[in-house]
Amino acid sequence: MHVTDYELYAVPPRWQFLKLETSDGRVGWGEVYTKWHFAGDSEPATRSAVDQLLHQYVLGEDPSRIEYLWQAMYRSSFYRGGPVHMSAIAGIDEALWDLKGKAAGMPVYELLGGPARDRVRLYQHVRAHSADDVADPAAAAADEAREHVKAGYTSVKLVPTDGLEIIDTPAAVGEAREIVGAVRDAVGPEIDVALDFHGRASKAMARRLATTLEEFQPMFVEEPVTPEHDHALPRIAEATTIPIATGERLYFRGEFRPLLEANAVDVVQPDVSSAGGITETKKIADMAETYDAAIAPHCPIGPLALVASLHVDAAAPNALIQEQVVVGDEDAMRYVENDELFEPTDGYLDLPAEPGLGIDVDEDRVRELAGTDLGFDRSPGHRADGSVGER
């Protein structure tokens, strides 16, 4: 059996679904990020990377040799790593695992050692509200958190600040405190409230915010600083009892290693569709386990990326919780025939039961909507003096 062909579909809202075909008539699916693609006529950088990796290393090869093909795609690319290369590898890797599971007649997690848990816990996002769109941002966040709890979720996550000065005022810190306090009051102590600073804080403000918000006992604080300042995480971790989480902008074991060695992180958050696929993310999870760190995979994209994450969550003993944006989203479910897969019970999803990734993609629908312009605007966020800040 060998890989004969592929198709990379660009579908709304801005997702890419990869289909691999084999000589014995099987198909495997994966999801590829659209990284590095701004509005305009150009194609996502990841599309070119997928084309080149498949032609150079995968077409004509035996798809069951996942580790070999992964190593070929990674090591043979002399200038390796980063968001584009590792997202392209990730989508291909997921499709290879889908093929392997279908050939074996087993869900992928069975091939990773079998399920370490019966179901996977999810969290829901509370949107960031600002005084520009609602009269009372804290009350709006609290209302939204209450709705998620009513729907059965036991954990919510919010970004408590929409941008900070390098050193900001007590008022800015107070605003964040008001929002997080309102959410904590609304949901009570039985519900987890996770925070995401989204890399918007300097290391100084990250310490100040974390120590201020500690009284609400957040589940974790995500990206207290941007990844290039992860060197500051040990100091931030020393300053607060809030568990430190990061990793959606890290793409390989080697980038997590120094954080684990420095005891700077409690929760690693690689993205399966961004960090080399199921193969690499499971290795990151295993490495984290040896440092008593949990894994909470990042996943703000489509249903194929989510289902790939569920297999890692199922197999990894240290999986804490799963991010997702597609549960309950009809536009996302139009691509999925067996959408019962994404119906949570008490904020948990059952493990996929069908062979491979376990998702039946509605290919007619995918074809019908393919060809979408996936470009998106990513204009700079500004500080008060007009300089560029994080957003």
Question: Rounded to whole angstroms, how far apart are CA atoms 108 and 284?
Answer: 17
Tell me which of 37, 85, 125, 298 is the catalytic residue: 298
Looking at the Cβ atoms of 247 and 347, the one nearer to Mg ion is: 247
> At closest approach, how far in Å is the CB of 364 from Mg ion?
34
- Binding Mg ion by CB under 5 A: which of 196, 271, 313, 339? 196
Tell me which of 125, 198, 229, 382 is the catalytic residue: 198
Contact region with Mg ion (CB under 5 A), list: 91-99, 191-199, 301-309, 334-342: 191-199
CA dihedral 228, 234, 238, 244 (to 10 degrees): 60
85 is catalytic: no
- Quick one: CA dihedral 244, 248, 249, 252, positive or negative? positive
Token pair belonging to 169: 């005022």
Token pair belonging to 219: 């589940």
> At closest approach, how far in Å is the CB of 293 from Mg ion?
17
> Using CB atoms, what's the residue nearest to Mg ion?
196
Looking at the Cβ atoms of 247 and 344, the one nearer to Mg ion is: 247
> At closest approach, how far in Å is the CB of 252 from Mg ion?
18
- Please write down the HEC assignment for all residues of the chain: CCEEEEEEEEECCCEEEEEEEECCCCEEEEEECCCCCECCCCCCHHHHHHHHHHHHHHCCCCCCCHHHHHHHHHHCCCCCCHHHHHHHHHHHHHHHHHHHHHHHCCEHHHHCCCCCCCEEEECEEECCCCCCCCCCHHHHHHHHHHHHHHCCCCEEEECCCCCCCCCCCHHHHHHHHHHHHHHHHHHCCCCEEEEECCCCCCHHHHHHHHHHHHHHCCCCEECCCCHHHHHHHHHHHHHCCCCEEECCCCCCHHHHHHHHHCCCCCEECCECCCCCHHHHHHHHHHHHHCCCCEECCECCCCHHHHHHHHHHHHHCCCECCECCCCCCCHHHHCCECCHHHHCCECCEEECCCCCECCCCECHHHHHHHCCCCCCECCCCEECCCCCEECC
Question: Rounded to whole angstroms, how far apart are CA atoms 164 and 372?
Answer: 35
CB neighbours of 79 closer than 8 A, spacing ≥ 6?
none
Looking at the Cβ atoms of 93 and 196, the one nearer to Mg ion is: 196
Contact region with Mg ion (CB under 5 A), list: 117-125, 189-197, 351-359, 364-372: 189-197
> At closest approach, how far in Å is the CB of 159 from Mg ion?
8
Looking at the Cβ atoms of 10 and 126, the one nearer to Mg ion is: 126
Looking at the Cβ atoms of 218 and 352, the one nearer to Mg ion is: 218
Contact region with Mg ion (CB under 5 A), list: 140-148, 160-168, 193-201, 312-320: 193-201
Looking at the Cβ atoms of 47 and 157, the one nearer to Mg ion is: 157
Interaction between residue 323 and Mg ion (CB under 5 A): no
Taking alpha carbons only, the member of 212, 254, 204 closest to residue 229 is 204
Looking at the Cβ atoms of 70 and 220, the one nearer to Mg ion is: 220
> At closest approach, how far in Å is the CB of 223 from Mg ion?
6
Looking at the Cβ atoms of 58 and 244, the one nearer to Mg ion is: 244
Contact region with Mg ion (CB under 5 A), list: 54-62, 103-111, 188-196, 348-356: 188-196
How many residues sit in the footprint of Mg ion (CB under 5 A)?
A: 1
198 is catalytic: yes
Contact region with Mg ion (CB under 5 A), list: 8-16, 139-147, 192-200, 383-391: 192-200
Taking alpha carbons only, the member of 47, 36, 51 closest to residue 82 is 36
> At closest approach, how far in Å is the CB of 263 from Mg ion?
22
Binding mask 232-251 for Mg ion (x = CB under 5 A): --------------------
Contact region with Mg ion (CB under 5 A), list: 21-29, 102-110, 194-202, 236-244: 194-202
> At closest approach, how far in Å is the CB of 248 from Mg ion?
5
> Known catalytic residues?
198, 298
Binding site for Mg ion (CB under 5 A): 196
